[in-house]
Amino acid sequence: MEGKFQEANSFYLSRVLGNKIYDSENNVIGSLKDLGIINQLKNPKVEAVKVKMHEGIKFLNWDNFIVTKQKGQYVLTCNKIEEKSIDDIMFLAKHVLDKQIVDINGRKVVRVNDIRLSAVNSGIYVIAVDIGWEGLLRRIGIAKPIRKINPNITNSMILWGDVASLLNGNDSIQLNKTYHRLSVMHPSDLADIIEDFDTKTGLSILENLDNAKAADVIEELEDDAQVTVIENLSTDRAADILEEMPADEVADILDSLSEDKAEELLSNMEKEASEEVRDLMEYEDDVVGSLMSTDFVAFNNNFTVDQTINSLRNTKPEEDQMYYIYVVNNKNQLIGTISLRDIVVSQPNSTLESIMNKNFIYMKDMDDINDLIKNISKYNLVAIPVVDEKMELIGNVVINDIIYELLKSKRRIG
């Protein structure tokens, strides 16, 4: 005999939690503490009942239960006390209710306030979670009177088909059958979601992203969250992700770690990437070098327009690396700048030296940041190249980096 539900075809978990359970003689045998399911992507069926009885907690087979509705209340009757194994069982109140989930469409973290179940001939099935205010009000027994005062308060449902277990321990759950929909979200949205979760859940999300995507997300995290994530990832994984990030971003993160941890990560990174970061970490906070990025686009002055375009197509540099294209000589000294427009409108066989702008603004790596701000503002620049004492091109500063630093208030710029 399977568990049955008479006189109604759906109900909320909150309406049965704590209710008394009767035997076939109408004697109270205990109270309902939880309902257990075997989690699956489709609507899972209630398999077990956690019951508080006089002799203690027991887990019973749901097949022996009948639920009826009497005078607006749900009454549970157990016709046979048959214990149920709880291996692989996930309990709704313990593992789902009040837990955080990711609302993919809303791009935010929300809380499960109630769970809706539906009855058919074959049993009771979980069909949705309620993340709305009504679910919370229902839990404390004031949904109906509040709705009379404010009829605009409604429930907000997410179908169980969009809910899957995030952690093996069921500490939290997330929307969607796989991590795919999370992985295609904008890094900034993902960063907000990770920051709203506890560290363990946030790390679980990051662990399921590839290194490049994880790097993009970490770049969007707040400073303290970046440090927490890097400290809690395995050294190998953290190093792999840091290699995907701009060297200046990595330097900022490592500056916030202990010397031992920073050195451990640097030692596990590829030599070239590690050396770039080490060089940037040598700069004091108030000089241009501390803000510059080593990711930029530069070509030899003897390159033709055609060669330059082909190289850009092959390397596919990031958008913020394309504000200006820098021209260097055989000694890697900066001798000019070119805009993309100049390249597009020029003849394919023209050399970069013949079309470059020779009157350009630049900064030296040891210049004061205040002078950098003044030049960016005075000449209305979106990026500015950075050279060393020998005029060798070593980096550039994008205006976005300056704004970001000012917003973080990490540096005091007068």
* Separation in Å, CA 387 to CA 7, 43, 91, 281, 391: 80, 62, 62, 17, 5
Task: Please report the sign of the dihedral spanned by the C-alpha atoms of residue 28, residue 30, residue 33, residue 34.
Answer: negative
Q: What is the pLDDT of residue 167?
A: 34
Which amino acid is residue 195, in one-letter code?
E
Judged against a pLDDT cut of 60, whether residue 347 lies above it is answered with yes
Task: Please report the sign of the dihedral spanned by the C-alpha atoms of residue 58, residue 135, residue 201, residue 126.
Answer: positive
Enumerate the β-bridge partners of residue 250.
Answer: none
- How does residue 170 score in pLDDT terms, banded at 50, 70 and 90? very low
- How does residue 154 score in pLDDT terms, banded at 50, 70 and 90? low
- How does residue 403 score in pLDDT terms, banded at 50, 70 and 90? confident
pLDDT (mean) for 166-187: 54
- Helix 187-196 vs helix 211-220: crossing angle, to nearest 10: 70
- Rounded to whole angstroms, the Cα distance separating 196 from 188 reads 13
How are beta strands 114-120 and 65-70 bridged, if at all?
unpaired
The region that residue 71 occupies, defined by phi over 0 for left and psi between -120 and 50 for alpha, beta otherwise, is left
Q: What is the pLDDT of residue 408?
A: 53
- Rounded to whole angstroms, the Cα distance separating 268 from 405 reads 28
- The alpha helices in 208-339, defined as continuous H runs, are 211-220, 223-232, 235-243, 247-255, 259-268, 271-281, 305-315
| pTM (whole model) above 0.75 | no
Could you tell me which residue, 153 or 17, shows the higher pLDDT? 17
Percent share of the chain, pLDDT over 90: 51
Q: What is the pLDDT of residue 148?
A: 63
* Separation in Å, CA 252 to CA 245, 364, 401, 410: 11, 20, 12, 10
Tens-place pLDDT, residues 69-93: 888 788 999 999 999 999 889 899 9
pLDDT (mean) for 309-318: 90
Eight-class DSSP state of 61: E
* Separation in Å, CA 238 to CA 207, 221, 244: 10, 15, 10
What are the chain's domains? 4-85 (3.90.50.10), 92-179 (no CATH), 187-282 (1.25.60.10), 298-408 (3.10.580.10)
3-state helix, strand, coil in the chain (%, to 5): 40, 30, 35
The HSE-up count of residue 63 (CA atoms within 13 Å, CB side) is 6
Under DSSP, is residue 127 helix (H, G, I), strand (E, B) or coil? strand
Q: What is the pLDDT of residue 119?
A: 83
Q: CA Rg, the chain, in Å? A: 31
- How does residue 166 score in pLDDT terms, banded at 50, 70 and 90? very low
Judged against a pLDDT cut of 70, whether residue 8 lies above it is answered with no
The CB density around residue 120, as the number of other CB atoms within 10 Å, is: 11
Percent share of the chain, pLDDT over 70: 85
Q: Identify the residue whose tokens are 């209630």.
A: 46
Q: What is the pLDDT of residue 7?
A: 45
The region that residue 324 occupies, defined by phi over 0 for left and psi between -120 and 50 for alpha, beta otherwise, is beta
